[in-house]
Chain A
Amino acid sequence: MPDQKPETVRLTIDGTTVAVPKGTLVIEAARRVGVMIPHFCYHPKLKPDANCRMCLVEVEKMPKLQTACSTPVAEGMAVRTATTTVDDAHKSVLEFILANHPLDCPVCDQGGKCDLQDFSHQYTPTTSRFTETKRIFQKEYFSPLIETQMNRCVQCLRCVRYCDEIMDVKALAPVGRGTMTEIKHFGPHELDCEFCGGCIQICPVGAITSRLSMYEYRPWMLKRADTICTFCGDGCRITVQTKGNELIEVNSAHGAGRNNGDLCARGFFGFHASSDADRLTHPLIRREGKLVEATWEDALEYVAEQALRLKLAHSADAFGGLITSRCTNEDLYVFQKFMRQVIGTNRIDSSARYGHLNGVQALRRVQGTHRWTIAFEDIVAANALLLVGTNITETSPITGLKVKEAVKKRQASLVTMEALQPAIDTLSNITNLALQHFPTHPAQFGNTVLGLTKAVIEGNLVDATLAQQAPAFVQRLTSALQGISWENLEAVTGQTRTQWTETAKILAGANRLVILVGNGVLRHPGGDATVTNLLDLLILLGKLDKPGCGLGPLAEENNDQGAVEMGAVAEFFPGPAPLDDQPVRDRIATVWREELPRTPGASLTEMLAAANKGSLKALFVVGENPVGTLPAEAQAAEALGKLDLLVCQELFLTETAAMAHVVLPACSYMEKDGTFTNSEGHVQGVRQAINPVGDSRPDWEMFSALSVLMGSPLEYGDAREILKEIRTVIPGYGLLGPTPTPPKVDQAVLSGYLTQGFAGDAATRYAVSQPRQTGDGSFTLMFVQTLFHSGKLSTHSKGLLQLQQEGFLSINPEDAARLDLADGGQVKVSNSRGAITTTVKIRERVPAGLLWFPEHFDGEAKQLAEWTIDPRTQIPYFKLAHVSLAKVS
């Protein structure tokens, strides 16, 4: 967000006067007055390259024609875009570009949305003076997802520049000289990159197109729906293009949404998950031990009957509910309302429990907000960025792009702490851009942050006014950190004092400091404490409530934030408000016309324990798969096996659904309306793109139908009505504009924290945590997210499966050499919990001593994971294991 208003410059475009900010390019100034200057190589995202020469215009007092795309405006400049000279120039440049063009529009997928086609119709005669032989490139196989047809290329290099400037991947390059310039990738194998689809989106002609929709459509046949992607917390705007009821393509228009038109592999190529053949199409009821197809009436009546019976026989607290944060806010809201009002229990939880709550709880505790106090714009405008525990490119690719933009375009200083090694690879690597990188063992984030806080205090970088306002806080932290020796910190973390000191100076010197916290912290033991300590760091630097500064936990699932705000978790009512917040309880009761349950909530792990003990009798599971996700130690299968009623609302027959008494087919995000709330707290509209697959229904509809059958109807006509009710419970919810206005730090909460709130666990938070001794092998196995997948949904996408279809073990080259492991070879991974055999992939970005395994394919592998539960936030941690490796020959 800009701090000051930029200077404006006045100029005339074809006689029309326009005032634009200084530094604006003529082509953009012209757009302001409705003059479209033809161009190929220009794109607002990219640095001007002025290579296509299509945008030549006359500028008064300049002898030669100028390229509008590279000429900045000047005061009093007079630009003419419609003279004969300019028209001749456009014609001549087009004549050159068309000289070697194959003119194969009838078989080109770009036909109908091609800049070259449009400009040709506008400027050139239908015959050509070119009677020579056309240049022909050999057709080369490029990749399973991306088709190239280089004869159509106009060499504008937008793809190459996008891949470098925006994505920082550098997978493409022009090869050859002159007319023989051809866009290629490197190496004698098919394209290996991030597959963001950016080159397809940015190509002005049909040179680079998607193979997923090859030869399937003409643009005018398609119906479009603007909606929000479901694969991570970034909340990207996507446009889903359909023909009939068939998903054809997903793209995102430049300037659209929080992603500004940029997408990642999941967003661009992952859409087929919704139309996968494995989708559940009919309700299933377990009869004689087998799940058999049933009608909606039978299935719902069965559930209602059983639920009423169990409620009568036991109590409302014999019920539990578990919902995925992939659902819309409307689904989540109706789910929790159903559980609280129709059933009468607070025993509900969602997948926000897996980590996001660590971030939300810390924010609430320290600054009194449940959301970021910053927005994506603040990331881009930051002077310094601290990324803790996030391989952001792979987990939150679009937030990652904002970081890249801040560093590459605006020279922000980047500090990264992550279990990641800088390396040139086929995927971009955020640590390559870092000014300071702390290669951090997954168990050492807490200690590494302690080092940084210690460096801030000992470097006298603590905000001067803070020491007066909150002496107790500063003194407590100072004495705690003085009690920790540098030698001790250096020994446990492997970092150096010098680096901490240097980094502290960078952070203190930044006017706009943004801290982003990822799964490395949020989903590992000590996550809650580490986020709180990072907030302490911001307080010490005097930056917690400064404009443009703040801390943002990165949500893993698209609606983790919404799940918390809708109250679909054990400890919160919608708001989120704690269960003991009487005013909120009263307000909601007025809206619901019913008293809210007073019994305490139960988190996922508590519900599983209760089921195991036999006190939980019935469980509603919406899109969650505890049996498939949690390691054996969680005893999910045993617990669910003891239930009298297990109802699953699912897209696919998961391990959990296979155990259910009733399975209800649910709509995916492509088939329903609603809203998602992204990481930064921006509520965005989800729009239906295709009809529900089979007999599937939106999740809220099922609860609504059940409530009617159970005698306390929750009736809504459509998702909008639900949102309307949400807004009465949470005033103003989802009324934000195109750019969210982040909340401000609650000064009352902050001062409460500074006087007393911090003290309770200060001793444990400011102590060096010693690595756990497990007696297992010397390697630390991490279950990580990967760029190409996002949980169990993406593994049904045929596009993404072509990029990655099974689990493999990523290992550092040195470790591999030591164990004599070859790329593609087999390895046995074992510890006291079990053993698996898998394929080895050698990757320089994996730090020595660590191993990565993609969590989306963790099937057998997850049994190796250690299982711990956070005492304060009840978050189960199961993404780490200590293992030994042995080569399998």
Chain B
Amino acid sequence: MPKYEPILLKNMLQPGYTGSLAEYERAGGYQAIRKVLGKVSPADVTAVVMKSGLRGRGGAGFPTGVKWGFLPKDYQGPRYLCCNADESEPGTFKDRQLIERDPHQLLEGMLLACYAIGAASSYIYIRGEFVLGAKILEQAINEARAAGYVGKNIFGSNTTIDIWVHRGAGAYICGEETALLESLEGKRGLPRVKPPFPATHGLYNKPTVVNNVETLANLPHILNRGAEWFASIGSPPKSTGTRVFCVSGHVARPGNYEVPMGITFRELIYEQAGGMRSDKKLKAFIPGGASAPFLTPDHLDVKLDFESVALAGSMLGSGGVTVMEEGTDMVWAALRLMEFFYHESCGKCSPCREGSSWLVQIMRRIVNKRGQLADLETLTDLCKNIAGRTVCAFGDAEVSPILSTLKHWRHEYVAMIHAAEAANLIRPEPVGAKQ
């Protein structure tokens, strides 16, 4: 018996649960939408969500109800809901499980969101690599459509809500909401300049809400059990509800753990995930996906809520907790993440485009024992010049591995450079920029 009551993972934790429409309904599914449709006004649905304190689970943690409230009230044309299922953040794999194991929970959440914002069409933008997930969603949508839950006049009401699955083509940046919209429109997935925000000028320039899978999956439960119930879970008032944390790395039991926000990293790693995989001690962990700066054992008692992690100098982000044990080469770890960001930089903004390739080349040199002490200053400088100077948050994200490892483990960089000097290999070695 788990210590905390699972909400999102409840159904799939039942042995033999396949996620079919029948089983979802047997477990109490599609009750929230029935309860709401035509009986509660869309504005009241938004009010409930606002009151529940639900915040976006994709990374930025923006209050969901507030986001919905930004849609223009008097706009007559179409509005859209987009479900962001482009889960590409390294170390994050919660949406995948929510999609593959309980697709109807997501669909019901989308129906509720569409109802609240007045959208007749909604799209699930799913990461291209999630072939299985896309198939399962298509199947689930077909089931729901056959049952009259999706499409014209759902549940016999006069409301029309359609859901379409759109597969991405393998770009991390398309998880950024405006790049997602561009890609969904059939264009090159590059982030848009904001403002205007999607709430007013989103998909096809129409008012649009983009919500994460986990965010949407919470909606049926909030509508079923009430805003007060949801707001009482976790670390109220600012971080309510549970979160599915994806624990990976050098732990005994990697996996998804749904726990109330506000428990400590120590509890998540040592109690939920079974502690370290060997007798080596914990050296470092990333608290919220690759974009979040590294934390150290000193931060193990930080609470898993948005504010506490921010205070500790990192972010709760997407909930991907990657744990590293003693002996992990932190410079190499930073390079590995930098390689990822270099590969995924979309190339729109000069600092990020050129900076990521420059940073990765310096990091490769250092790891290949051809670094110089001056490189560390250059690294810091370049990182500072990228962060905050790009269209989207990618620029801030890509510098976090280097900046945080330089902050906590600068001595490892220095040692590596001294070793290079000792080996008399300090001349920069050309590193091909071609991938």
Tell me whether A and B are bound partners.
yes
**Which residues of A come within 8 Å of B, CB atoms?**
48-54, 56, 64-65, 67, 70, 89, 92-93, 95-97, 99-100, 129-135, 154-155, 173-174, 176-181
Note all chain A residues with C-beta closer than 8 A to B390: 53
Smallest Cβ distance from A185 to chain B, in angstroms? 15
Q: Return the contact of A181 from the options B193, B347, B431 (Cβ within 8 A).
A: B347
8 nearest CB pairs, A to B = A92-B385, A181-B347, A96-B354, A132-B361, A178-B345, A179-B357, A135-B433, A178-B347
Report if A64-B345 is in contact (Cβ < 8 Å); known contacts: A49-B193, A54-B350, A178-B357: no
Q: Return the contact of B353 from the options A54, A133, A178 (Cβ within 8 A).
A: A178
Residue of B nearest to A98 (CB): B354
B197 interface residue per 8 A CB criterion: no
A19 to B312, CA, bound (A): 45
Note all chain B residues with C-beta closer than 8 A to A64: 388-389
Report if A180-B351 is in contact (Cβ < 8 Å); known contacts: A49-B193, A96-B358: no
Encoded as 1 (CB less than 8 Å from any A CB) or 0, chain B from 363 to 388 comes to: 00100000000000010010001001
Q: Return the contact of A53 from the options B344, B349, B356 (Cβ within 8 A).
A: B349
Report if A53-B171 is in contact (Cβ < 8 Å); known contacts: A70-B193, A99-B354, A180-B347: no
Q: Please tell me if the beta carbons of B391 and A133 are within 8 angstroms of each other in the complex.
A: no
19 contacting pairs across A/B (C-beta < 8 A): A53-B349, A92-B381, A92-B385, A93-B351, A96-B351, A96-B353, A97-B350, A99-B354, A132-B357, A132-B358, A132-B362, A132-B433, A133-B361, A133-B430, A133-B431, A173-B188, A177-B346, A178-B345, A179-B356
Considering only residues 307-336 of chain B, those with a C-beta below 8 Å from chain A are none
A873 to B431, CA, bound (A): 75
Residue of A nearest to B171 (CB): A177
Residue of B nearest to A91 (CB): B385
Residue of A nearest to B364 (CB): A132
Note all chain B residues with C-beta closer than 8 A to A132: 357-358, 361-362, 365, 428, 430-431, 433
Q: Please tell me if the beta carbons of A53 and B351 are within 8 angstroms of each other in the complex.
A: yes
Q: Please tell me if the beta carbons of B389 and A65 are within 8 angstroms of each other in the complex.
A: yes
B343 interface residue per 8 A CB criterion: yes
Encoded as 1 (CB less than 8 Å from any A CB) or 0, chain B from 265 to 276 comes to: 000000000000
Q: Please tell me if the beta carbons of B347 and A135 are within 8 angstroms of each other in the complex.
A: no
Q: Return the contact of A154 from the options B342, B350, B351, B431 (Cβ within 8 A).
A: B350
Smallest Cβ distance from A847 to chain B, in angstroms? 28
Considering only residues 400-435 of chain B, those with a C-beta below 8 Å from chain A are 428, 430-435
Q: Please tell me if the beta carbons of A53 and B346 are within 8 angstroms of each other in the complex.
A: no
B145 interface residue per 8 A CB criterion: no
Note all chain B residues with C-beta closer than 8 A to A177: 171, 343-347
Note all chain B residues with C-beta closer than 8 A to A51: 348-350, 391
Note all chain B residues with C-beta closer than 8 A to A65: 388-389
Smallest Cβ distance from B108 to chain A, in angstroms? 36
Q: Return the contact of A50 from the options B188, B193, B378 (Cβ within 8 A).
A: B193
Give 12 A-B pairs besides A96-B351, A178-B356 with Cβ atoms closer than 8 angstroms. A53-B349, A53-B390, A56-B389, A92-B381, A93-B351, A93-B389, A133-B430, A155-B348, A177-B343, A179-B347, A180-B347, A180-B435
A130 to B374, CA, bound (A): 12
Number of residue pairs A-B, CB distance < 8 angstroms:
108
Report if A135-B389 is in contact (Cβ < 8 Å); known contacts: A96-B351, A174-B347, A179-B347: no
A89 to B388, CA, bound (A): 11
A241 to B433, CA, bound (A): 40
Residue of A nearest to B374 (CB): A129
B355 interface residue per 8 A CB criterion: yes
Smallest Cβ distance from A295 to chain B, in angstroms? 64
A124 to B435, CA, bound (A): 29
A181 to B431, CA, bound (A): 19
Residue of A nearest to B173 (CB): A177
A56 to B386, CA, bound (A): 12
Smallest Cβ distance from B347 to chain A, in angstroms? 4
Note all chain A residues with C-beta closer than 8 A to B353: 96, 155, 178-179, 181
Q: Please tell me if the beta carbons of A92 and B351 are within 8 angstroms of each other in the complex.
A: yes
A134 to B342, CA, bound (A): 15
Report if A155-B351 is in contact (Cβ < 8 Å); known contacts: A132-B361, A132-B428, A133-B433: no
A70 to B378, CA, bound (A): 30
A131 to B434, CA, bound (A): 16
A624 to B346, CA, bound (A): 56
A134 to B357, CA, bound (A): 10
- The interface centre, meaning the residue of B354, B433, B434 with most chain A CB atoms within 10 A of its CB, is B354
- The interface centre, meaning the residue of B188, B342, B350 with most chain A CB atoms within 10 A of its CB, is B350
Q: Return the contact of B350 from the options A70, A133, A155 (Cβ within 8 A).
A: A155
A174 to B378, CA, bound (A): 30
What secondary structure prevails in chain A residues at the interface with B?
loop
Residue of B nearest to A47 (CB): B193
Note all chain A residues with C-beta closer than 8 A to B435: 180
Note all chain B residues with C-beta closer than 8 A to A67: 193
Report if A130-B347 is in contact (Cβ < 8 Å); known contacts: A49-B193, A155-B353: no
Q: Please tell me if the beta carbons of A129 and B378 are within 8 angstroms of each other in the complex.
A: yes
A130 to B357, CA, bound (A): 11
Residue of A nearest to B384 (CB): A92
Smallest Cβ distance from B168 to chain A, in angstroms? 14
A48 to B391, CA, bound (A): 12
Smallest Cβ distance from B40 to chain A, in angstroms? 37
Note all chain A residues with C-beta closer than 8 A to B354: 96-97, 99-100, 179
Smallest Cβ distance from A207 to chain B, in angstroms? 14
Note all chain A residues with C-beta closer than 8 A to B381: 92
Report if A155-B347 is in contact (Cβ < 8 Å); known contacts: A50-B391, A51-B391: yes
Residue of B nearest to A179 (CB): B357
A54 to B365, CA, bound (A): 29
Note all chain A residues with C-beta closer than 8 A to B356: 178-179
A176 to B433, CA, bound (A): 14
A64 to B194, CA, bound (A): 13
Note all chain B residues with C-beta closer than 8 A to A92: 351, 381, 385, 389
Q: Please tell me if the beta carbons of A178 and B428 are within 8 angstroms of each other in the complex.
A: no
Q: Please tell me if the beta carbons of A53 and B433 are within 8 angstroms of each other in the complex.
A: no
Smallest Cβ distance from B373 to chain A, in angstroms? 14
A154 to B378, CA, bound (A): 22
Q: Please tell me if the beta carbons of A174 and B389 are within 8 angstroms of each other in the complex.
A: no
A54 to B354, CA, bound (A): 13
Q: Please tell me if the beta carbons of A93 and B350 are within 8 angstroms of each other in the complex.
A: yes
A100 to B357, CA, bound (A): 9
A154 to B391, CA, bound (A): 16
Smallest Cβ distance from A91 to chain B, in angstroms? 9
A70 to B432, CA, bound (A): 35
Note all chain A residues with C-beta closer than 8 A to B171: 177
- The interface centre, meaning the residue of B171, B348, B433, B435 with most chain A CB atoms within 10 A of its CB, is B348
Q: Return the contact of B434 from the options A93, A100, A180 (Cβ within 8 A).
A: A180
A179 to B388, CA, bound (A): 19
A93 to B358, CA, bound (A): 13
Smallest Cβ distance from B269 to chain A, in angstroms? 34
Note all chain B residues with C-beta closer than 8 A to A89: 385, 389
- The interface centre, meaning the residue of B357, B388, B431, B435 with most chain A CB atoms within 10 A of its CB, is B357
Residue of A nearest to B343 (CB): A178
Note all chain B residues with C-beta closer than 8 A to A97: 350, 354
A181 to B346, CA, bound (A): 8
Smallest Cβ distance from B361 to chain A, in angstroms? 4
A176 to B345, CA, bound (A): 11
Encoded as 1 (CB less than 8 Å from any A CB) or 0, chain B from 175 to 193 comes to: 0000000000000100001
Smallest Cβ distance from A77 to chain B, in angstroms? 14
Note all chain A residues with C-beta closer than 8 A to B342: 178
A177 to B430, CA, bound (A): 22
Smallest Cβ distance from A358 to chain B, in angstroms? 42
A851 to B11, CA, bound (A): 67
Smallest Cβ distance from A27 to chain B, in angstroms? 13
Smallest Cβ distance from B194 to chain A, in angstroms? 9
A129 to B343, CA, bound (A): 22
Note all chain B residues with C-beta closer than 8 A to A50: 193, 349, 391
A129 to B361, CA, bound (A): 13
Note all chain B residues with C-beta closer than 8 A to A131: 428
